[in-house]
Structure 1
Amino acid sequence: MQRDAPRSWTMLAIAGPRQHGGNTGYLDSPKSVYRFDSGVANSGKVKRGDLVFIRDRDGLLGVSVIDHISSKPGEKVLLKCPECGKAKIRKRAGQTPAYRCESGHVFDKPAQSLREVVLYEAFYEKEFILASGAVTGKRLRAAAWRPNLQLSIEEVDASRIAEDVIEAAPQARYLLQNFFQSMAPESVAQDDDKGYMPQLGDRRQKVLATIARRRGQAKFRTSLIKRYGPRCALSGCTVMAIVEAAHIWPYRGEEDNHVQNGLLLRADLHTLYDLDLIGIDPRFILHVADDLKNSEYAHLSGLQIDLCAKPSRTAIESRWNYFKKNS
């Protein structure tokens, strides 16, 4: 049975004991393991392979993918007001009595009770990438699908913060790229005989989204490798870890994952192509925008692209016309 697509989460972690008003908290090791229990919202939804953004109260600490999750039965110590029994209590820094409940009662020692729970440990040290300060706490909360300040584990739209993370920690690029690829739809249009026609419309927003999300989905990429072979169409690079599936006409929907609407490009060349800093004319000659004339990419100008199969001519022409207007 196929596993559900991975999800992305923020997890609130604090080095050392994590203290909450209504329980005794956990011992966190932010770079390697996150501990929680079945009483925590979303605890049952977090799975192996999910993307996690580890944060403290100020912002992002790092990003990783969950390698495995362990579980065992255990007990959770719950704290409550000794007068009214309410669990919403706060520790008052530097004040006596030390605690206050939501009803206004103050006390030095909370009442305690035990609850049977499942104790979880999510391990992610293998792929952890430090990205301290890349995203503020406010930005992380804004990326949540259903923002809730009370949640320590919160599902987020990773595409809203991916660009900031990559800018601060470029090594996170491939981890995030692999995550977005794993979310690809199952079907890919690969019937060469039917051809491909680009869907016209506003493309600027889609271009920017493509760079951040890298929607060079896994099945689309596989179809391009079968068609063109395992190498970059421009540089000849065969290190497939850094060769991506690039859409000729930007992705607007599943129909754009047609094998004739794609090329395999090295990661840096993919970004330049998305930004229309390089272009391919209908004769399959590469052109470099004026902004790159004095760069290390200038030598690519005039390159004749040799492909064993041809992509959609309509897609190439449409994209070339856009390049000419904007380069």
Structure 2
Amino acid sequence: MTRDYWIFKTVAEVDRSFQTIDSYEDSISEYYNYDSLVPNSKQIKKNDIAIITDKKKILGFASIAYIDISKGEKIIRRCPQCPSTTIDSRKTKFPKYRCNKGHAFDIPLEEPKVVTKFKAVFNTFLPFKGQREDLLQIRPFYTKGYNQNMSMQRLDSKVFKLFGDIEQKLQLDSYNNILSPEQGYVKEEQSPYTVKMKDEREIILQAIKLRRGQQSFRKKLLEKYNRTCIITGCNVVDILEAAHIKPYRGENDHHPNNGLLLRADIHTLFDLNLISINPSTFEVIVSDLLINSEYIKYNKQKLSSTVIESLSGDALKFKWKTFLKNMNNE
């Protein structure tokens, strides 16, 4: 798949054209929100790389793990005298508002519109640490010329020559699972986890490839399980990974009750259905294919009561069925 390069402009609350534009509520180290009315909204895809900026400076660099898509509503504000939606609020002159066509007015028209909402979730975010943070240096690299009114614009890949080995670092973090144990943002606890069957992601092997980039999910599980693998007891944080019980297919599956903290090798075996958990006995079950391996010592080992209480029974049953099917096909 061809990788594209972008600049994503995020707008702080104080800079939102004096409240004529609703905030997209970005979290610059985790995700970038936009909708179907934004130019290039359908062009952004996983594995693309973006430079994140505000109106004046470079904030950081991100690689995109996946795009979440949902339906929603957006309030469109426009000039009462023309179709223009480019409106500024004036601090000292009246009427208060003026559109880019020169019309002045007291209150913009508001029109709700159904849109497709997108969330570009980052696999990796690297904050900018260079000396020159201004945006002028990027201007020559816009593939279709710079447009100050566009928040997402395509860049030539040569732009990364300005930033040393940043692109290589993003790729290493994305594909070789390099992740600081302390990275991640803890969101508020969600409602109880429920299994959803709709497939919103690729096959499980793709999840193995991307799993360490799921920073928020991993951070939650590190705290939940006291930085300890629930099967081996390993507490070397650098090799502990966030495992989904029911394989990841969408944002709903990032619930902590659908998560296990596992040592990297155990995680891979769990994802490949060579190790599982019996939802009736809460015992670790090892596939017959591993009988002659070091992993057989974990067979029939029961999870602690603390771990058991925090797991989704539906997710365990879903995973167990897949494990048994795999066993029968051996």
TM-score of the aligned structures, taking structure 1 as reference length? 0.48
Q: TM-score, normalised by structure 2?
A: 0.48
The structure having more radius of gyration, on CA atoms, is: 1
